[in-house]
Structure 1
Amino acid sequence: MPHVYILECSDGSYYVGSTWDLEARLQQHASGKGAKYTSRRLPVTLRWTQATDSIAEAYAWEKKIQGWSRRKREALMRGDWEAIQQASQRRGGRPPA
């Protein structure tokens, strides 16, 4: 089943990815063979995951979340939808167009 996921790296940064097989992908990351970014920041810890209906949907979520701020990613991991909405507002309090 396709998933989108967020890993926390040893340096405190976040890595966002998507995969068909979450368990296998996590093993790849843990062994240093998952991605160049995570291989230099081991160990990594799974902080959030969401199953999707298709790999295309998982990939779309991955790209969307990669563009988010740290604050917004952390709100997502907490399931704090109000904070996600607040983090989405432009400076000056106007919602994005």
Structure 2
Amino acid sequence: MYYTYVLYSEKDGKLYVGYTEDLKLRISQHDKGLVQSTKSRRPLILIYYEVCCEKWDAIKREKYFKTHYGRMFIKNRLKTWFENRAG
């Protein structure tokens, strides 16, 4: 199994999208500051993930989530969560 995941940075309010074969390990690496691209953006919250059977599917979803339409999908899918963050 492969996972496409979305993290929310509490520091800058931006999203980070990635994929992995081991979601628990990868989130732990992000939390510990072992991932260069998110090290300075901690703390991070896992806000969304999808499970894919094939690696190429996870990569395809990651690329989609990094587009304008993909970010709109995430924001619409988690609309209530984002509204609650705003106050």
Give the unaligned 5+ runs of structure 2. 80-87
Match in the other structure for 1:4 = 4
Secondary structure, counterpart of 1:37 in structure 2 = coil
Which runs of 4 or more aligned residues in structure 1 lie more than 3 Å from their structure 2 counterparts after TM superposition? Answer: 69-72
User: 1:12, 1:25 → 2: CA distance?
Assistant: 20
Secondary structure, counterpart of 1:58 in structure 2 = helix
| Cα-Cα RMSD | 1.5
User: 1:14, 1:42 → 2: CA distance?
Assistant: 11
Match in the other structure for 1:91 = none
Give the unaligned 5+ runs of structure 1. 79-97
The structure with the largest alpha-carbon Rg is 1
Q: Offset at 1:13?
A: 0.3
Match in the other structure for 1:37 = 37
User: 2:78, 2:55 → 1: CA distance?
Assistant: 20
TM-score, normalised via structure 2 length: 0.79
Match in the other structure for 2:84 = none
Secondary structure, counterpart of 1:61 in structure 2 = helix
What is the identity percentage for the equivalent residue pairs of Structure 1 and Structure 2? 30
Higher share in strand: 2
Which amino acid is 1:19 matched to?
T
Q: Offset at 1:71?
A: 3.5
Secondary structure, counterpart of 2:5 in structure 1 = strand
Secondary structure, counterpart of 1:40 in structure 2 = helix
Match in the other structure for 1:23 = 24
